[in-house]
Structure formats: structure tokens, C-alpha cells
Structure 1
């Protein structure tokens, strides 16, 4: 009797079990479908939420504010490189650039408050280490802070290219210029022969993947906050022509044989430089790697008549058209470099400042023809302009890490 009752109960519960399993299957199927529709920058692992925050600042859109948009700082700030000063150079949309602000999808990104920043980072040293795109960001921050604190000492701390101490707050902000992070210089074949000579190499550039460039070697021991970048020079044919002046990689003073490709050299350099920073910095030093800044050449690359003359941000479908790896577009550099960067960062104590996706929209924010250059500048950014938003993002990330 008890056995029959148990059988009836099992039979009566079977339809409910089937219903539950069906619902679970539908949920899993819907999740997989949504994943398949996710944009490429996400599936490629290029979207990083800020640590300690439920907000993903990299997911959002550009909003145009109505009414007048006062600049964050005067375009006459002396640190602005002449070619980036789009207001002085009379770029047609230079003032309109100030109207656009990045709006994350699930939170707000307030503009950097320079007085609050000076007070919060009193007695700190902040170092930007990298190529001219990091200088772009450095200048933006310095100009914003200078607007509220004129008591400034100009100097070159720890071998920096340039630096400023805001004396009332004992806050130092410096820029260390380095193209590859690692040491490199001209190489010529030795008359006595060697490994590279035996392979037919006559000249090129020696790149020591395990030796930091001297311009920033002392920076990890000096700065409390470090913001790194690299990538643009690793694929620069005008400098490192694969035939006439190739990159020749060395490790522990010896040439790597067989020679490796630049992308493999980048992997090695990132790995060794991150280990170097970990070894030479304090345990409480905040170590940040800024993701790759996108270029916006259309109609060809920089040396092929490419231009960037748009006056408004791109639409999402236009972004994918220009940056899709599958379509092998002119501007895939940022996503390719980010793949190497995220691979190297995995398991390290470095944090990611992800500015790539938000910047991919801003084809309108480059100097372009302003300044009368031979080739249009579709890589650097107008100041005041987009890199102000990078510093807004930096503050949001730093606030989360400190809390």
C-alpha cells in the first residue's frame, strides 16, 4: 500500500519536474543567445569593470549637453602641445567637443573636481609612464589642476621628461616618456659576425625585452600611483621597417634566435616590465595599465591618405565597422594590442583603466588637419577634449580602489 502511494506521488510530481527542467533550459538558451549577440569588444575580453564597484564605466554612450559648455581649463595652458591645441588651431568643432560627456549605462561618471583631487591626493606622487598618448592624458590632468592651484614647481623627478609639484598640497604629477617601455637602440652587424649576422641581418633595432628604458627605471620607487601604457610604437613601420630596420629582440644580453615577431616581443616585454615594477615598487603602490587608445583613420592608414574629419561621435554600428577584427579594418590596432595587454595582466597586481571602448566612438575628437601637419593626426586627441574624460574615469577607479 505504501509503495503504491509513493509511486502515485512520484507520478503526480513528474509533470512539475518536466516544467522546471524546461524553464531552466529556456533560461540557459536565452543566456547563450544574448552572449552570441554581445559586441566584439566584450567577447574579446576588452571590457573591465572597476574593482570594488558594481558599475561598469566602460559600458555607456556619449551624451551631448545643451547650452554653453565652459572648458575645464584654458586652452592657453602652457603644457598643451601645439599640435593638440584644437581651439588655438581653429578646428571647426573644437568648442563643440566640450559638449559631449560619457554616460555609463548603470551609474554616473562625475567630472573631475580639481580641488577635491588635490586635497585627496595630498603628499602623493603620480607618474604617467608611456608614449605620447599618456602625455596627452598627463597634460589634461595638469591643466585641470593648474586652474585651481597656481603655486607650482616645475621639475623632472626620478628621470621624468617633465613634472609638476603643486606646492600647497605637496602633490607631484610627472610624465616619463618611453615608446616601448623597454630599452632599445640602433643595431648594426658586427664585422666579426654573430647569430644575427649569420641569418643575414645587417641593421635594425636592438630591443632588450628584460631591461626598462632609463627614462622611467626609477619611477616605481618614487611614485605612489603609476599609470602605464604602450602599444602604438610596436607596430610603427615608419620607425621599425620589417626589412630595412626590423626589431631584433634580446634577452639577458643575447639575441633571441630564431628571431621573434614584434607581437611576441611585446608579450615578453610586458611580462618582464610588470615583474620589474612589482619588484621595485612598494606593496601599497597603485599600479594601473591604461588600455589602448584607438586611432580613427578612414580611407587609408596615416601614410595612405587616411583622414578623420567627422564632427560628431560614431554610432555603435560605425564603431564595429572601423574596429572589427574580422573585417581587418584600418584601426584594429587597439583591440589587437589589448589582447596582448590583458594576457600579460592576468594574475598580476596591476589594474586596468579601460578607456578603449568609450574612445572608439570619438572619431570627431582628434586634431585632424588642425595645425597644418603633412599627415592628418587621427591618433592624438584635442585638448581640452576626450582625455579629460579619461581622467574622470581615473578618479572613479581610484576612489573605488581607495574605499
Structure 2
């Protein structure tokens, strides 16, 4: 009897122990299932295509630090910050050329263009502080000299500073296309339009003959490689800081047709014989213009030469049905497909021009503002069909947009130079 009671007691004890373990076992089982599902989900996400050229913004990333020291600002990664709201300026800035105002023109991704932020290799560009800039560069004249891509950059800087200071007077230095003075700071910024840097104009054969006429040239464009275009000839003696660019017009067959209206280069008033091709003419112009600036510049002046702004035409050039409908930055392999010198692509001019620039600038007092590689990824940031032209605008940039980052880079270089001095 005592044995049966003992057996009953033992069985009841085991049953209670089993019941008490059940919740724990259930919890462990549930956790195991959840972990397996999570790992499975992570595996499926990692197998999805992930752009190697950009990533999601992580403000807690220890590598996303500000740096004013050694940094390769021209190479890095575009990071996407979907929560970012820019207070730099908006589509209401009246200086924005209508064709570049992608928000007002209802470009589908206009609001997302500024949510991509450039992270240089190993560091990060600090945000642009317009008030600090105005204070730092008080009593300074800043000039942009070049084609419409430099105007793109000029407008970006103006709109940013205009948001911080309302005391602005429209005023153009000699030869400038546009200019403004921020009165409280006595800071002037201006844009001097020039397509080739050198002076050029229509040329027609002389009835009395000449060296070019003897070679059967009937018409074209005379380019004086040693004479600056009048629009900016006075700029070096006025501005403390100059940002130059050229390149797009040198590869413009619709303007300088190599047969019907070729570039004909002159030096010291005489035609260069035998005639040289545009790339050789570009080399000569760069040499002469750099020397001209260094002779005429103000004491302590800082001169930059901006590298080529890339175009993103697909399916042909601008006058042959080319388009740019992408809504995301390019991947690295796509960048090479667009711009590789080896495949002679539609947009190859960017790297071609840069080769000439780097050769010319070597040993000069000019600083290189290298924006090419960072911009090559941004096929999503052009006006495209929202530009209002008969063809897609895959050359200029939406504003607000990528030229804001060019100005961030410019200011970082200026501040570094100021720190060294």
C-alpha cells in the first residue's frame, strides 16, 4: 500500500515538472522558429540586387565623420537618406533658369535628387553654412568663368547665399553675364559666359586669297588661341577667386562642323598652318589662357579649374534621339559603360577633356576642382524631358541638385587653402 502511494506521488511530481517545463519549451521552440525565419528573410534580402555605388544613410556610422584633413573628396559613394529635407534653397529661387527648375517642371524624381548625399572616401563633406561662408569671405569677389555648366554652379551658390542674406544688389562686373553683391558682407559673385575661353567668331574666305584659302577653306570659325574672350578678360584683375571651365563646345559638331564650319586656329593674328584639330587647339588655348590669368590676377588670388561635367545621353546624342530617363544613380559598371575611353561612347568627352586639362594644369598655380567622377553616377539628376526643350536635356543639372555638392567641394577646398595660409 505504501509502495502504491509512493508511486502515485512520484508520478504526480513528474507530471507537475512536465507541466512547469512546457511554457519554457514552447518559448524556446517559438524563438527557434522566429530565428530561422529571420535568417531566411535576411538571406533573401541579401540575394536581391544591391547597388554597389550607393547605400542607405546611417547617421551612426563611425566612418561618416567630418574631416578637414587628408581626404579624397572626388571619390566616394552616394548615400541615400530618405528622411533628409534640404533647407538650402528651393524652386522659388528666381535665378534658377526655367529649364533647370525640375520641381516646378514636375520632374517625377525632383524631390528625391537632393536626398542622395556624397560621402567621400574615408570622410564626409560638412554641410554648407551660408552665413559662415558670407562672414569668412567678406570683401571678396568670386567669379565663375565658362559655359552654361558653370552658370549652373553659379546659380546654385547664389540661391544658397540668397537664402541667408536678403540685402542683395544685382550688379555685373565688366564683361559678366550676371552678377550680385551681398551688401552686408561686400561679397560679389558673378558669372562670365565663355564657350571656348579664347576669342572666336565667323570666318569667311577672302576673295584676294590667303593660306587657308589656298587649302580650299571657304568658311568656318576663327579661334585666336592667345586672346581671351572679352566677356572675362577683366575678370582676373577684379576677382579674388575664379572658377574656370571649358570643354563642351570643343566637341560640338552641330556648331563647329568639321567640314562645313570647322575651327580655324590663329596665333599672333596668323592662321596656324597646317591647320590643327580641335583637341590640339584646346591644348594651345589652355596654355595661353592659364598664362594670361597668372599675369593679370590680383595678389593672393585663388584660381580653380573645374573638371568636365559628364553628360548622360542614352540611345544617341542630343540631336539624334538621346534620352536620360533614369530615376536612380548608375552602378559602377554602368558608369564605365557610359564613360570608358575604350568603347568611344556618346558621353566619352568628359574623360577626354579631363586628359587635356590635367596635362595643361600640371605645374601651374591652378587648383583642380574634380567633380567628374562623383557626377558620372548621377544619371538621375538631369532635367531630361522636364527641361522644356525639343530634346532631352541630359547635360545640365536640376536645381536644387548635384551642383550644390560641387559648391560644397569648392568651399571645402577654399577653407583648406585658407587654413594652410
Normalising by the residue count of structure 1, what TM-score does the alignment of the two structures yield?
0.86
Structure with the larger RCO, 1 or 2 (CA within 8 Å, 6+ apart): 1
Question: In structure 2, which of residues 132, 153, 159 is the aligned counterpart of residue 137 of structure 1?
Answer: 153
After TM superposition, give the deviation of residue 234 of structure 1 in Å.
0.4
Whether the 8 Å CA contact 2:239–2:298 is kept in 1: the answer is no
1:31-69 Cα distance to aligned partner (Å, 9 max, x none): xxxxxxxxxxxxxxxxxxxxx941010110100113252
Query: 2:70 matched to 1:54?
Result: yes
Question: In structure 2, which of residues 137, 144, 153 is the aligned counterpart of residue 121 of structure 1?
Answer: 137
Whether the 8 Å CA contact 1:111–1:389 is kept in 2: the answer is no
Query: 2:363 matched to 1:347?
Result: yes
1:277-324 Cα distance to aligned partner (Å, 9 max, x none): 000002410010000000000111111111111001001111011111
Question: In structure 2, which of residues 332, 335, 338 is the aligned counterpart of residue 319 of structure 1?
Answer: 335
After TM superposition, give the deviation of residue 177 of structure 1 in Å.
0.3
Question: For residues 87 and 277 of structure 2, what CA distance do their matches in structure 1 show?
Answer: 44
**SS of corresponding position for 2:125:** coil
- 2:213 is matched with 197
Question: In structure 1, which of residues 227, 248, 262 is the aligned counterpart of residue 243 of structure 2?
Answer: 227
Question: In structure 2, which of residues 276, 291, 311 is the aligned counterpart of residue 260 of structure 1?
Answer: 276
Max Rg structure: 2
Query: 2:296 matched to 1:303?
Result: no
**SS of corresponding position for 2:73:** coil
Dislocated runs of 4+, deviation >3 Å? none
**SS of corresponding position for 1:168:** coil
- 2:193 is matched with 177
Whether the 8 Å CA contact 1:61–1:102 is kept in 2: the answer is yes
- 1:328 is matched with 344
Consecutive unaligned residues in structure 2, runs of 5 or more: 1-67
User: Cα RMSD (Å) of the superposition?
Assistant: 0.9
Whether the 8 Å CA contact 1:227–1:287 is kept in 2: the answer is yes
Whether the 8 Å CA contact 1:71–1:98 is kept in 2: the answer is no
Counterparts in 2 of 1:345-384, with a 5 A limit?
345-384=361-400
After TM superposition, give the deviation of residue 74 of structure 1 in Å.
2.2
**SS of corresponding position for 1:320:** helix
Question: For residues 84 and 256 of structure 2, what CA distance do their matches in structure 1 show?
Answer: 45
After TM superposition, give the deviation of residue 158 of structure 1 in Å.
2.3
- 2:164 is matched with 148
Normalising by the residue count of structure 2, what TM-score does the alignment of the two structures yield?
0.83
Consecutive unaligned residues in structure 1, runs of 5 or more: 1-51
How many residues align? The count is 352
Question: For residues 381 and 371 of structure 1, what CA distance do their matches in structure 2 show?
Answer: 10
1:140-169 Cα distance to aligned partner (Å, 9 max, x none): 000000001010010111221110000000
